[in-house]
Structure 1
Amino acid sequence: MVPVDTFRDFIVATLTQNIENRIRKLPKPSNAAQALQPLFEAVSNSMYAIEDLLGTDVAKGKISIRVKSLSDSDKIEIVVADTGIGLDASRYDAFCEVDTDFKRVKGGKGVGRLFWLDAFKSIVVESVYDDPTGRFRRGFSFVLEHEDQVKPTRADELATGLSTGTTITFCGIRTKEYADTFPKRADTFLRYFSAHFISDFLLGVGPTIIVDLEGDITTFPNAVAELTVGSPLETGHFELKDFGTLSIVGFTCKAEASTGLDGKHQLHLLANGRTVETRKVDGLLGVTDLTRDAKNDLVFHGCVSGEYLDLRVNEGRTAFNLPEKTLNEISRGCMEQVRTKLLPAQVSAYVEKRKENYQSFVTRYPTFGFDDDETQLQRVPFHATTAEDFAAGLVKYQIRREEERQRALQSLIDTLDLQDIPANFDKTVSDAARGIQSSEQLALAQHVVRRKLALELLEKLIKRLRSRKDKDDDHYLEKTLHSFICPMGIRGDDSTEVKNRAHELWIVDERLAFTRAFSSDKRLDAIMASGGSAERPDLLVWNLAYGLGVTEGDSVDTSEPLRTMMIVEFKRPGREDYKEADDQIEAQIVKYLGQLRGGELESFDRSRIRVADDCVFYCYVIADIVGDLKQQLSNWETTANGQGRIRPLKNQYRGSIEVIQWQDLVNDAWMRNRATLRAAGLSRSRPKLIEAPKVSEGEPEQVFDPAES
């Protein structure tokens, strides 16, 4: 038992607040929205004061906000005045109590005014209020000091003839964090202000707010109401698993309603009737056009309320005490309600359009069509509408599918090592074969589609060059045509060169689809180990047996001399003038052969490849046989189709020179592409025929229509 005298040592004490330290620990702003939070708190307090006075007639109340010297953080002055109930005795006592629970029923945490002290140098409050003995006025300064933060500026006095309400004057930004992030422009200020209170303005649950920015007046909610189209849309109450009962009121608005916000469509998460967080939901809504008529650029704003959110807001009402994952789950669940209950017609139209986009995507990229359309669309995000969106969503399923097939095949291979083969082994093998065939068909289809686009572009280039004749940009277009088939000024065996893999040499010869054994528009003296001139063959391929290329680390066998080579020259489509001596086709080719035959090529890794004396040279000139060239080739043999010309090399040279018309080159590539379709069992229709330009006497040549591939 403690002796009675001992109690003299115990002193009764009350915990005290260190306000300066408390302010120092408040979160500092990192953007304009957070910098405006102290002002938002003042406006919210004014809204509550009007609600306390007018109840359901809150729309009759008024708040005025006057801003001067917005761009000068030292001289800025913001005055917030309301027609609310005023700071009567109980409300004044609550103001003077840190962490008061006076407004707990409305979600207030009692710390909003602490943000004022953190943000502003000077805060003066004037308030008119009623008490049982009459109407009075009080005034005080609110200062950041260790003690006596509330300093009266006048004794309470009668205020006969004055209306109740409170006026707060904020002057000067106190800290660098607020000065750096506080809006300096009037339009920026208005964007963030309207964005923060947009749910109040949309729902029409607040008083009239008049913002005077350096004399420019904006009135809310009128300014926002003018942006709404049609009537509000309501889901009513619904249950969201783990989050209780929620409700959504939605609005279709003009695009300006989302000015200053991230994204077009917005979901406003409310706590106790006030916006706490606004989230972009473009991807969750998916719908791009909210109208059923000709109006465009409309956006959706939804206001979400519920007890779950009311109970989980932080003390400054600036954020929810919830992880991002939870907020995402709430947003997804709410937007599902929006799609099914509020915007079913628009969503239905969007779903149909999305399906069309997906089908177009699969047409261009067949390898992603490995399952039916509905299954694939369920695998991608609802907002997916572009090729990149679809590919990003499906690639993991594509990889899993191939991995499963690989495992199944390996299991099948392992079965062959067993002593006892299962009874259904033949069916397993058949299923595996069908799986392989299906996969290869998709890959071939994509291969064909890519080549189709390449050939369409090639035809457009040829047509443009023919139509341009001798215009100034002929030279550049001619280089473009060459570079499209094969980039200029490169060697294919240069492992450091990325461009050498971007060629379309399959158009010239299918064996060259993956070749690296070539040079394009390179001087002969840069290709040969010794000798050689400044002549530049458009394309020199020095090993057709190397047509499929080699893998990293492999090398070309240089022990045997080259016995076949290919030389290709590209002449501008539509060219008619070949009057100069250097324009003689055979003479130009023989100049190259004279340097190559019996010489040595030097590969990029410095190894040497000898060109055999009996090397066979396949020389091709791609041109339109018109004008001077037609006369020059008049004594040459015609090719099998009657359109090209060919002549064998004579004397010490073996091989031939063949002049191929541009259209024949393209037609042959189209036919090979269609043959691939048929071989893969993918062809759906017979090719239509279109007329090609007349390139010789007689009937116009028939060529394949690219649209049919």
Structure 2
Amino acid sequence: MSNVNVKRLVDNIRSGTNIYTPLVELVVNAIQAIDEKAAGKGLVQIEVLRSGQADIIDRLEDVDGFVVKDNGVGFTKANRDSFDTLYTEQKIADGGKGFGRFTCLKYFNRVKVSSTFQNGSGFQDRSFRMGLDKDIIVDEKVAESTAKETGTVIEISGIKSVKFPDKRLETISRVVVERLLPYFVDKDCACPSVVIREAKDASGTLSLNDYLGKDSSQIVEMKVENGTFSLKANDEEKTFHVRVFKFYSPRVAKSKVSLVAHRREVTDNPLQSQIPEFGEEFYEPGPDGDVSKGRNFVIKAYVFGDYLNDNVSLERGEFRFQTDADLLNGISQNDIEQKAAEIARSAVGSEIAERKRRKEARIADYVSSDAPWHRTLANKIDFTALPMRPSNQDIELHLQKKKYEKEIATRSQVAAVLKSDNPSELSEKITQLMESISETSKNDLIHYVSMRKCVLDLFSKSLEIDGDGKHKSEGDVHDIIMRRKKDSEDLDYDAHNLWILDERLNFSSYVSSDKPLNKANSDRTDITVFNRRVAFRGENEASNAITIFEFKKPQRDNFADPSSKEDPVQQIVRYVNQIREGKFKTPSGRDILVNDTTPFYGYVVCDLTAKVRKWLHTEKEFTPMPDGMGWFRWFGNNNLYMEVISWTKLLRDAEMRNKIFFSKLGL
């Protein structure tokens, strides 16, 4: 008579179990019962119980439970009393926790036991159910038996809310084999025959043992030169042994590393977490290299060791050490899996090496074609952690992360040097740091120049006609140079491409783009730039130039008509006068400091059609530039120098200024 709150105990099972755990537990108990009998010719039979309506596709009903039969020693009084004892120590030598049977009640409503055992010179039958109240064993019956052989039949049925994930016998048997592979490959203890079949139809019986040991087996052990490694836990060396297997016709296309405790798989994690090149299946050609008869396979590395046996959890779903860094024990799950992954890699070394080579070529191609500013950095960092087939985003994020880490390290080193009181070390450290800073700066410059090439390509494209034979509006090309309705209060200082117009504009302290300077209904320029004050005269008078731009749509020339109210030359003159008269302030409310000697520069960007050329020559008295792609004039009374240049000249001049940089980078 036991006194255990069985329901609460079952409800508290949390760690690492799943719907297959009860079945695995029953098969292991059956194998142990056969080992205890030590009579040879052991047999474990698994029958699949089904219920519900058959699926129209596979014509199979859902799995409702299992019956596991064995010809082992049976439920003797000692075994019966052990079953009725929570945390029994009867199987402690085999790694028994005295708890596994309760996982049956976590996933199934009913657990029934029928067993024949030897009692003296005769046999007896024992049957009972697992209870859900205070008693573990209920409805127990013991009677004399006419049987001539011992054995046990355990039924788990009435699956709970969790639906069994698989239906086909082949799939279920494959999962059980993977979970219990250490039993099937144990060289010191032969595994009994284990078969599986439908409870209603014994004709389609499958042997789990046939997954191994034959020419056509789906699981084959691979040779490894050294399958042993050691790790240190609290100054004590712990030894682990790894066995690597090929799994042909993989159920899921993932190679894995499994940690084993007492011949049972406890955890299995993708090998690609440690070595990304395990991310895809492998392929093995058929005899004589026949591709048509080849087979796909994945790798599974099983890790054994006393450290794993000693630290497995009660439910056998996890270990008592940490997944990552383990300060208490010194050895983490990640440490073990990393070492095992390296041994697994040695078993398929040539294919892994080829996959790694392809990844390196992919990274090199990205850096060369799309991110040349990373060339120096890419030659120095490790890309091992990247996926087997990294995307451009994967590569760029990795590079940016490493760049940031390097910059942080350099800043820390600079701070340490500045605080150092040892002059003899300064010279060498400063030299090293300057090399690091120079590399970072060089990479940033390459990035910046590459982005300029992209901007100029977009700018060139914007000047072309579209599919309807029309040119883009001035707004479209305007936005490439600088966003409309924005000023320097709204944009970062470098969030524009004013260098296309004039390199000096990169250093402007205030910019207004297509936006009234101080009120909604005032005149507005396309771009007005106020340079940073770099010198003052006498009584704090500004000396830096103010630059004004006007954009006109490509091929548009109606502004040169006599009746036009959009004369860009006259507009710029008017803006200059209004600024001189103090009619405008910056968005922050500050005065625009000008005087009689403040220089102004005006630029009109448009296409120089015949009408525009005539207009500039006869009406505006502009002088043509030597290249014929622009016109200029000096307005002495306004201290204003103005140019009217073509879109083509704007693009060509910008390309010419940057050509040497593009050439050096091979852009």
Is the partner of 1:399 in helix, strand or coil?
A: helix
Is the partner of 1:279 in helix, strand or coil?
A: strand
Amino acid at match of 2:405: K
Change (3 A) 1:256 1:117: closer
Q: Distance in 2 between matches of 1:611 and 1:367?
A: 42
Amino acid at match of 2:276: G
Cα deviation, residue 517, structure 1:
0.6
Residue deviations 1:634-680, cap 9 Å, x none?
Answer: 6643334x1531222537533233234445434444444455x5xxx
Cα deviation, residue 166, structure 1:
1.6
Is the partner of 1:567 in helix, strand or coil?
A: strand
1:352 is matched with: 357
TM-score, normalised to structure 2, is 0.73
Q: In the alignment, is residue 233 of structure 1 matched against residue 222 of structure 2?
A: yes
1:82 is matched with: 68
Is the partner of 1:251 in helix, strand or coil?
A: strand
Deviates more, 1:136-145 or 1:575-584: 575-584
Cα deviation, residue 463, structure 1:
1.9
1:277 is matched with: 267
Cα deviation, residue 276, structure 1:
0.6
Equivalent pair of 1:469/1:575 in contact (CA under 8 Å): no
Change (3 A) 1:463 1:447: same
Cα deviation, residue 114, structure 1:
2.6
Change (3 A) 1:99 1:511: same
Q: In the alignment, is residue 517 of structure 1 matched against residue 503 of structure 2?
A: no
Equivalent pair of 2:544/2:598 in contact (CA under 8 Å): yes
1:168 is matched with: 155
Change (3 A) 1:69 1:300: same
Change (3 A) 1:61 1:456: same
Change (3 A) 1:78 1:106: farther
Residue deviations 1:42-100, cap 9 Å, x none?
Answer: 45445655777899977x74323335469xxxxx9832212323633154343233323
Q: Distance in 1 between matches of 2:632 and 2:616?
A: 9
Cα deviation, residue 210, structure 1:
5.5
Residue deviations 1:172-217, cap 9 Å, x none?
Answer: 64xxxxx5xx35876999999977863446996683446899xxx9
Change (3 A) 1:278 1:356: same
Cα deviation, residue 131, structure 1:
6.8
Equivalent pair of 1:598/1:611 in contact (CA under 8 Å): no
2:446 is matched with: 448
1:144 is matched with: 132
Q: In the alignment, is residue 491 of structure 1 matched against residue 500 of structure 2?
A: no
Cα deviation, residue 614, structure 1:
5.3
RMSD: 5.0
Q: Distance in 2 between matches of 1:479 and 1:253?
A: 62
Residue deviations 1:531-585, cap 9 Å, x none?
Answer: x7454433221225479xxxxxxxxx99635752112234455668768735644
Q: 5 Å matches for 1:285-324?
A: 285-287=275-277, 288=279, 291=282, 300-324=299-323
1:404 is matched with: 413
Cα deviation, residue 19, structure 1:
1.5
Is the partner of 1:152 in helix, strand or coil?
A: strand
Q: 5 Å matches for 1:438-587?
A: 439-440=437-438, 442-463=440-461, 465-468=463-466, 470=468, 474=472, 479=475, 481-492=477-488, 494=489, 497=490, 501-522=494-515, 524=516, 527-528=517-518, 533-543=521-531, 545=533, 560=541, 564-572=545-553, 581=564, 584-587=567-570
1:607 is matched with: 590
Cα deviation, residue 23, structure 1:
4.4
Q: Distance in 1 between matches of 2:509 and 2:205?
A: 68
1:41 is matched with: 25
Equivalent pair of 2:211/2:219 in contact (CA under 8 Å): no
Residue deviations 1:409-432, cap 9 Å, x none?
Answer: 7769x95xxxxxx8x99xx49x94
Q: 5 Å matches for 1:386-397?
A: 386-393=395-402, 395-397=404-406
Equivalent pair of 1:539/1:569 in contact (CA under 8 Å): yes
Q: Distance in 1 between matches of 2:624 and 2:3?
A: 102
Equivalent pair of 2:244/2:302 in contact (CA under 8 Å): yes
Q: 5 Å matches for 1:587-602?
A: 587-590=570-573, 592-602=575-585
Q: In the alignment, is residue 332 of structure 1 matched against residue 290 of structure 2?
A: no
2:5 is matched with: 20
Q: In the alignment, is residue 708 of structure 1 matched against residue 661 of structure 2?
A: no
Equivalent pair of 1:506/1:513 in contact (CA under 8 Å): yes
Equivalent pair of 1:255/1:299 in contact (CA under 8 Å): yes
Amino acid at match of 2:442: L
Amino acid at match of 1:343: V
Change (3 A) 1:286 1:118: closer
Change (3 A) 1:309 1:489: same
Q: Distance in 2 between matches of 1:467 and 1:19?
A: 85
Q: Distance in 1 between matches of 2:281 and 2:348?
A: 8
Cα deviation, residue 304, structure 1:
1.9
Equivalent pair of 1:623/1:659 in contact (CA under 8 Å): yes
Is the partner of 1:513 in helix, strand or coil?
A: helix
TM-score, normalised to structure 1, is 0.70
Change (3 A) 1:83 1:397: same
Change (3 A) 1:198 1:230: closer
Equivalent pair of 1:250/1:302 in contact (CA under 8 Å): yes
1:691 is matched with: none
Q: Distance in 2 between matches of 1:210 and 1:543?
A: 86
Q: Distance in 2 between matches of 1:502 and 1:98?
A: 70
Change (3 A) 1:34 1:447: same
Change (3 A) 1:128 1:249: farther
Change (3 A) 1:657 1:195: farther
Q: In the alignment, is residue 377 of structure 1 matched against residue 370 of structure 2?
A: no
Match for 1:63 among 26, 29, 46?
46
Is the partner of 1:377 in helix, strand or coil?
A: coil
Is the partner of 1:589 in helix, strand or coil?
A: helix
Change (3 A) 1:282 1:479: farther
Equivalent pair of 1:126/1:167 in contact (CA under 8 Å): yes
Change (3 A) 1:520 1:136: farther
Structure 1 unpaired stretches of 5+:
1-15, 71-75, 174-178, 259-263, 416-421, 548-556, 678-682, 688-706
Q: In the alignment, is residue 251 of structure 1 matched against residue 246 of structure 2?
A: yes
Change (3 A) 1:369 1:465: closer
Q: Distance in 1 between matches of 2:148 and 2:377?
A: 78
Q: How many residues are matched?
A: 609
Equivalent pair of 2:550/2:568 in contact (CA under 8 Å): no
Is the partner of 2:338 in helix, strand or coil?
A: helix
Amino acid at match of 2:112: V
Deviates more, 1:607-616 or 1:572-581: 572-581
Equivalent pair of 2:554/2:607 in contact (CA under 8 Å): yes
Q: Distance in 2 between matches of 1:313 and 1:469?
A: 69
Cα deviation, residue 438, structure 1:
6.2
